[in-house]
Structure 1
Amino acid sequence: MTSERSAEERATQLEVARKIALDQLATRARSEQELRTVMKRRNVPADIADELIDRFREVGLIDDAAFAQALATTRSEFGLRGRSRIRQELQSKGIDREIADDVLAQLSPEDEREAALTLARRRVRSLTGLERQVARRRLAGVLARRGFSGGIVNAVLEEVLGADWDDESVEFSTGEQ
């Protein structure tokens, strides 16, 4: 009787875990670690979570490489983030370092530069009238916090702010006409 009961209990636990995982995946794609964390928080036994995640991986509901690729593309194109910020996010979601390296290697340096340029052009409007050094420092900070490299930050600052500043304050050209 106890083996029947434990089999029944296990089936119930597996069904509850499946519902938790599918509810999570219904809102957005998730990494394996994210699903494990949610299931642990919801008191799903580790062996049940392992079994379910293995099944989901087999049928393609969980694919960390595809998840990482989609996240990197989205963050670069729409979130206007640089490689280091995307790497941090991938790491926080439990993506393996090799997968993250492969995904980030596929990001075009030109696309990253364009993302930084778009962000800088949006932000530069709020800096008009500031002293030259203050405007440059603030814009550089915004770009650096978004994960853009020093080389990209400098190139974008030069393009957006230009060298034709008067000593007191800055009038910027956004490059748009």
Structure 2
Amino acid sequence: MKITHIKQQKDKNRVNIYLDGKFGFGIDLENYVKLGLRVEQELTQEQIDEITKKAEFQKTFEKILHFAMVRPRAEKEYRDWMKRKKVAENLFEELLEKLKKFELLDDSKFATWWVEQRNNFRPKPVRVLKLELRNKGLDKNIIDDVFENTQVDEAKIAKDLLQKNQYKWNKYDTQIAKRKRIEYLGRKGFSWDVIKKAIEN
């Protein structure tokens, strides 16, 4: 097949390639220049397939970069994103490797960041944090390593939550208020030992 026309897209970083007078495929400028595509150039079907794969890879990588820039991501989040966007499965591993190369994919760093963010803005007990990380697809060893190097003061978190929500129980007598505080902390995922300390203090 012969390239008969090359037209810039509205996105100035991409061009459309026409083959034998009909639209063939879109491609990013980087690959377009790198491949040296030009009008009158003959392409085999094998070459076209390889070019479109590179074009699709670059287009998808640009999109996944936007997803990556919102906040750090776990590998499972990237895989789930690619499935939702119906990305060709044969691109998954190559995309993940490029994310690692750009230091945008590291489950250990993600786990540390996640726990630090929770501690700073939405404190939660260790049991809940571990469950959140497991739901993010992180390996148990990575999760364990994070909590070996990160302190989570569950007693303080529980006490702060009680103080913040004290108004909810002011209308009850002492025993009922105590029971409701215990139930509240239990729903939040605190262990009995932590709940007991928080209530007694």
Structure 1 residue runs of 5 or longer lacking an equivalent are 160-177
Aligned residues: 158
Q: Distance in 2 between matches of 1:86 and 1:104?
A: 10
TM value normalised by structure 2? 0.73
More strand by share: 2
Counting only pairs closer than 5 Å after superposition, residues 153-172 of structure 1 correspond to structure 2 as: 153-159=195-201
SS in 1 for 2:165: helix
Deviation for aligned residue 1:97: 0.9
Structure 1 ranges of 4+ moved more than 6 A: none
Q: Distance in 1 between matches of 2:89 and 2:162?
A: 46
Q: Distance in 2 between matches of 1:139 and 1:76?
A: 21
Counting only pairs closer than 5 Å after superposition, residues 108-147 of structure 1 correspond to structure 2 as: 108=151, 111-147=153-189
Deviation for aligned residue 1:150: 1.5
Q: Distance in 1 between matches of 2:181 and 2:117?
A: 23
Q: Distance in 2 between matches of 1:39 and 1:20?
A: 10
Structure 2 residue runs of 5 or longer lacking an equivalent are 1-43
1:74 to 100, 117, 123: 117
More off after superposition, 145-154 vs 86-95: 145-154
More helix by share: 1
Deviation for aligned residue 1:60: 1.1
One-letter amino acid of the counterpart of residue 70, structure 1: W
Q: Distance in 1 between matches of 2:72 and 2:183?
A: 31
Q: How big is the alpha-carbon RMSD for the aligned residues of Structure 1 and Structure 2?
A: 1.6
Percent of pairs with identical residues: 26
Is contact 1:117-1:156 (8 Å) kept?
yes
Q: Distance in 2 between matches of 1:51 and 1:133?
A: 60
Higher relative contact order (CA 8 A, sep 6+): 1
Q: Distance in 1 between matches of 2:191 and 2:176?
A: 20
TM value normalised by structure 1? 0.82
Q: Distance in 2 between matches of 1:14 and 1:3?
A: 17
Deviation for aligned residue 1:112: 2.3
User: Which residue of structure 2 aligns with residue 17 of structure 1?
Assistant: 60
Deviation for aligned residue 1:107: 3.2
One-letter amino acid of the counterpart of residue 121, structure 1: Q
SS in 1 for 2:194: helix
